[in-house]
Structure 1
C-alpha cells in the first residue's frame, strides 16, 4: 500500500488517523494490523492511563505520536493529526475499532472504481454482529429522525422511502455500494483533496455530529458518500443492553439537533416538529420494550435508554436559543 514518486521518498497511499483517550486496553488491536502497510498518526488526548507511553514503547517510530497537553475532543484532535498526514487517503479510525490492510485495499480500490465518491466506509461490525444499525445513514430531517426513533425504519428494507437516519444492515446488498449521506468518523476513508477542500472536521462539538456534518458538506460540494459493504471493520462495544443505573448518553442526539438547526435554519414550528416526533418516537419504543421486558428482562435496558432519548429530545431548546456557527 505504498505509492512511490521517487525510489528514495516513498509516499503512503493511506494515512490512518487515530485519536486516543484512556485507550491502552484497546489500541493494540487497532494498530497491529496496520503497522508496516500504512502511515499511522496518533494523537493522544492527555490520557491518564499511560496510552501514549504504551504506544511509544510498543511501536516507536512506526507510529507518529502526538501528545496533546489537554483533551482536545475528537474533531480538534483529528484535524491536528491530519496536519502530519502524507497519504492520498486519510482513514479516520477509532482506537477500539480495527481493520486489516486487505480491507483498506478493498476500500481504496472501490473508491478508485467510483471516482465520484469522496468519502467512504466499510461495513463496521459492532460487537458480535448483533446490531442492526450500521455506522452510516441519511440526513437528520424530521422524516428520517421519526422513522429512526419510532423503529419504523425497519420497513426500509422494502422501500427506500422508509429508511431512517441510520442505515440498517438488511437494507444493503453485499456486493453493491450503498450511497448514503453520512458515514461514521469511527472508520471513515476520505480522499485527501476532499479533506483539504472542506477544511477538515468542524470543531463546533467536542465529539459526536462532526462526522455527519462533514459528510453533508461533502455531499453539498458534489462528492458522493458511500458504504462498500464487502470491506469489513470491527468495533468493540458492549454486545447487549442491560438495566444498569448508569447515565444514558444523549449528547449524540443533542448535537444532532444542533446540526439540524445550524444546517437547515428551521422555523420555530419546524424545529418543534423535529423535537416532537423524535420524543414521541422514542417514547413509543420505550413503552413497547417496557412491555416486552415483563417477558424478557434483558429489554429493560432498551426501555430505559429510549425513555432517556425521549426526555432529551423533548427538552431541546428552540432554534433561537441555539448559538450560530
Structure 2
C-alpha cells in the first residue's frame, strides 16, 4: 500500500483560484497526492485545463450541482471506495478550490492525527486574505449561544454569545472543538464512513456543522490544529450572489436545529425557530441586496 493521499475539492467554475490551489499544494505535504475534482457543472474550463496541466489531477463530473457535501460524497464513493484504489485509505483531505496551502500544512494535520487517535476530523488555522485569523474552530450552536449569535450578531458584532460560539477570545491551541470549517479538513475514512459522510440535504452551509456534531455523537473528536495554516479566499463562493447564499444559510440552519429537536412535543420550538429565522433572513437578505444595489450604482 502506497502513502498516496487523496485531496477532494468541489469545483463550480473556480477560475484562477484552482491554479493557486494546485500550485501551493506541493508545499503542503511530502506525500504523493491525487487531486479529485468533483465538478458541479463548471463552465469556465478551469477544471479541464487543470487536468491537462497536472498529471495527478482527476476530474469527476457529478452530473448536476449537488452542493458541497453531495459532491464530496460522490468523489469518496467513486475514488476511495473503488476496489482498484491501492493508496493509504486511512485519511483523505477535503478542501475548497479557493484555498491556498501553507508550508507543510497537510503534514502538520497528519502528524496531529497520530497524536489524536480518536480524531475523526482535523482542521488547520485559516487566514482570510488580509492575514487575519478566521474563527474556523467553534462550539456547536446551542439554542442559547447559537440563537443569540444569530439574532444579535449581525447588529452587535462584539456581543458575548458570538464571541463564545466562535471561540474568538481563545488563543489558537491544538484542542478538540465542536466543529471545524469544511473549507479545509483532514478526515479519517473510518469516521467519515461510519457517519455516512456529509448529509446531502445541506446544499450550501451547515454541512460542516452537522458533520462535526454527528462525528462527536459517534464518539469521534474534531481537532483544531493551528500549527497547520491555509489561506481561504471565501469571497469566491459568497461573492457571486450573497443574498441567495444568505437565504440558503437560513434554510440550512433550520434543517440543522429541527433535526436536533425532532420530538412531537418540540413542535412549538421548531415553529419558533422557523419564524425567527424567516424574520432574520428577510432582514439580512434585504440589507445585502440594498448594499449590492448601492455598489452597482
Which residue does 1:315 correspond to in 2? none
Q: 1:278 to 1:73 in 2, by over 3 A?
A: closer
SS in 2 for 1:179: strand
Which residue does 2:268 correspond to in 1? 269
Q: TM-score, normalised by structure 1?
A: 0.72
Q: 1:165 to 1:306 in 2, by over 3 A?
A: farther
Which residue does 1:226 correspond to in 2? 223
- In 1: Cα distance, 2:224 partner to 2:242 partner: 33
Q: 1:262 to 1:302 in 2, by over 3 A?
A: closer
State the shift of 1:220 in Å.
0.1
1:24 aligns with 2:15: yes
1:38 is aligned, of 16, 33, 46, to: 33
C-alpha contact (below 8 Å) 1:138/1:182 kept by paired residues: yes
Higher relative CO (Cα under 8 Å, sequence separation at least 6) belongs to 2
State the shift of 1:122 in Å.
0.7
Cα RMSD, aligned residues only? 3.4
C-alpha contact (below 8 Å) 1:21/1:46 kept by paired residues: yes
State the shift of 1:58 in Å.
1.3
- In 2: Cα distance, 1:206 partner to 1:74 partner: 7
User: Over residues 57-114 of structure 1, what are the superposed CA-to-partner deviations in whole Å (9 max), with x where a residue is unaligned?
Assistant: 111x311221333322212210111121344212110011121460111111112112
C-alpha contact (below 8 Å) 2:62/2:74 kept by paired residues: no
Q: TM-score, normalised by structure 2?
A: 0.78
Which residue does 1:51 correspond to in 2? 46
C-alpha contact (below 8 Å) 1:120/1:188 kept by paired residues: yes
Unaligned runs of 5+ in 2: 81-86, 292-297
1:64 aligns with 2:58: yes
- In 1: Cα distance, 2:255 partner to 2:165 partner: 18
1:146 aligns with 2:147: yes
When Rg is computed on C-alpha atoms for both structures, the one with the higher figure is: 1
1:173 is aligned, of 171, 174, 185, to: 171
State the shift of 1:143 in Å.
0.8
Q: 1:22 to 1:165 in 2, by over 3 A?
A: farther
Matched residue count: 272
State the shift of 1:18 in Å.
0.5
1:194 aligns with 2:191: yes
C-alpha contact (below 8 Å) 2:140/2:165 kept by paired residues: no
Unaligned runs of 5+ in 1: 157-161, 287-300, 309-325
C-alpha contact (below 8 Å) 1:141/1:274 kept by paired residues: no
- In 1: Cα distance, 2:131 partner to 2:165 partner: 16
User: Over residues 105-139 of structure 1, what are the superposed CA-to-partner deviations in whole Å (9 max), with x where a residue is unaligned?
Assistant: 111111211222211111111231347x5123222
C-alpha contact (below 8 Å) 1:140/1:256 kept by paired residues: no
